[in-house]
Structures are given as C-alpha cells and as structure tokens.
Amino acid sequence: MGIIKRAFGKSKEGQEVFLYEITNKNQVTLTVSDFGASWVHMLVPDRNGNRRDVVLGYDSAEGYYVNPGHFGAVVGRNGNRIGNARFELNGTEYQLPVNDNKNNLHSGPDWYRTRVWDVKDINEEKNSVTFGLFSPDGDQGFPGNFSVTVTYELTEENEVVLHYQGSADADTIVNMTNHSYFNLAGEDAGAEAMLNHVVQIHAPEYTPVLDAEAIPTGEIASVKGTPMDFTEPKTIGQDVEAEFDQLIFGGGYDHNYALSREKGERKEAAKAVCKESGIVMEVFTDLPGMQFYIGNFIDHEKGKGGRFYEKRSGFCMETQYYPDACNQESFQSSVLKKGEVYDTVTIYKFSVEA
C-alpha cells in the first residue's frame, strides 16, 4: 500500500521531523516517527470493521518532548531500572544519572526518545522503516560508542515486527525495549475498558521487587497461587486490588515476568483480548523477560485530540532482559561485549475475534 511521509512538527532543536505511515492490505495502519523512533499510531479494524487507534500518544512531536509516561518510546541504552544508578563492568564502576528515587530509569533524563533518529531505510516492498542512532562513549553514563538501528515492519499478517540491532566498540550495557501503551478498545477508551481486557502471560515466574522503588530482589519466584499469575487468561482488573505486597509496592502491576531464564528462540510471550472491540494482540519475543505495566502512574496527561489519559488508561508489554540485570548475578547479563552484535526481535500481532 506504500509508505506515506508526513510532517510531524519539530524537534527540541528546531529540526523538522516526520511521520511514516504504513498500511497493509487489511487496512491496518502503523505510524512511526523519526522523533525518538516512536510508535505513534496503530489503527486496527474491530469486529465491525471500524478502525481504532490502539496506542496512546500525542498529535505532534512537541507532545513527545516531556512525555512522562514514555508513550510510544524506544528506550535505550537500558530499559527499566538500574539499582542505585550504578553498575560495575570490567572492574570499573559507572555512575548514571539518578532520575527515579535513587535509581536510574530508562537511561534518562537524556532519553533516546527525544532525539531525532536517522532514517536509514524505507522499504516499500517490505512495508518497513529503519531508524538509526549513534550513541557516543559516555552517553547517559554508559561506556563505548554504540550504534543501533530499530526497524518497524508491518506484515500482511498484521504483525508489527520490531528488530533491534546494534554494536559497540567497548563492553557496555544494552537492554532496549518499546514502551508503547495499548488499549484495544481504543486509545481514548479509558481505565475501565483497559481493566476489562483478558490477558494471558506465558510466564510461570516473575521477579519480585524489594519495595516501591521497584528494584528486583534477585529472586525468580513462582506466580502460582498469587495475584501475579496470568498463566491462565483473566481480566487485568480481576486481582489488581488484592492485598499483596508486590501490587501495593507498584500501585498495581508493574513487574517483570520471567518468560525464560535466557534469550533464545522467539515464542509467544503474552496475549491480550478486548471483548468489546474484538481486537486481539499477541506478543512474541526472543528475550527472557517482559515488563507488564498497567499505567499506574499516568496522571491526567493530555494526549491525542486534546483528550486526557488518566491512571490505567493503557498497558505496556515491554520485552527485555530482566530489570537491573547488570547488577544481579542470578539474571542473564545485559552486557554487550565489544564487537558482538545486539540482535533481538519482538512482534506485536493484531487480529480480531468474532
């Protein structure tokens, strides 16, 4: 169907930035931007054929400047939290900015999501756009010059394929993810609709956190018999208010699910179903973890069409190495060795049930 390029405003530095709109034969449309390599729109036909935008976000690049919830963001070098905003690598301690209690979250505050990425390739035959970024040695506090690309591809099977590839000239930490928020009833449908989504997560274990700062204890614990268990489908809201310390710490679900212990073959991680719209989303990844976060900290955020997003208006399924993996001996390491290739694929597949 072709790829349409549209103006999307300007970067913080005044550089023009653009949207890239990709539509397949099923009238599914993916829109991404070179501002932050952000995922901006996802239009999916519901069971009645009406297209709904199922990702939260903003109407222009300027909306993404602050973006406290990281709507649509590609996060790097490291997604999620690093305890005490520090790690040791090859005998050297690296201090990162402190931006979340005493920790570092999503490698901020100098985010990849507020930078203009280079457009490396537009492939109309594959319905894909590739964005690239160069992150110099010392950027965000991390060692090594790091070059990375993120490719978004929309297949005729309604799959959004995110392919991350990168390399560095020194050992470094790399744990990238996508922080899009989904509401399969529509981005404007609100918390009640989101909590009614039926979710299944193919993870028998999760990584409990120490306290409200959400740094893992290092334990990999069974979900069995706890409100954290999504091994069988249930609504997001079913157990969210349970008197369970992990849910109290995060104000709801905001936890890493252990899909496996190590990166491996790509397989289904999770499935979400909106009974009202009929829209279904399946997540596939080769990574060992997935952060399931239900927007507990969204706070009257002005989004698309001037509408306000409130607490729990959308959910995230952020594939990843486990949080704080660079400091946790029991977790697979997030170290990228000099000369090795960081290469990982996550797929979000959309369909409709009757």
Which residues are part of the catalytic machinery? Answer: 179, 318
**Cβ-contact 308, 285 below 8 angstroms:** no
Look up residue 225 and give its amino acid: G
| Cβ-contact 268, 202 below 8 angstroms | yes
Q: How far is CA 274 from CA 164, 194, 342, 350, in A?
A: 29, 8, 34, 11
Distance CA 295, CA 316 (A): 8
HEC sequence for the chain: CCEEEEEEEECCCCCEEEEEEEECCCCCEEEEECECCCEEEEEEECCCCCEEECECCCCCHHHHCCCCCCCCCEECCECCEEHHHEEEECCEEEECCCCECCEEECCCCCCHHHCECEEEEEECCCCEEEEEEEECCCHHHCCCCEEEEEEEEECCCCEEEEEEEEEECCCEECECEECCCECCCCCCCHHHHHHCCEEEECCCEEECECCCCCCECCCCEECCCCCCCCCCCEECCCCCCCCCHHHHHHCCCEEEEECCCCCCCCEEEEEEECCCCCEEEEEEECCCEEEEECCCCCCCEECHHHCEECCCCCEEEEEECCCCCCCCCCCCCCEECCCCCEEEEEEEEEEECC
Task: Determine phi and psi for 139, rounding to 5 degrees.
Answer: -60, 130
Judge whether 344 and 287 are in contact, CB under 8 Å: yes
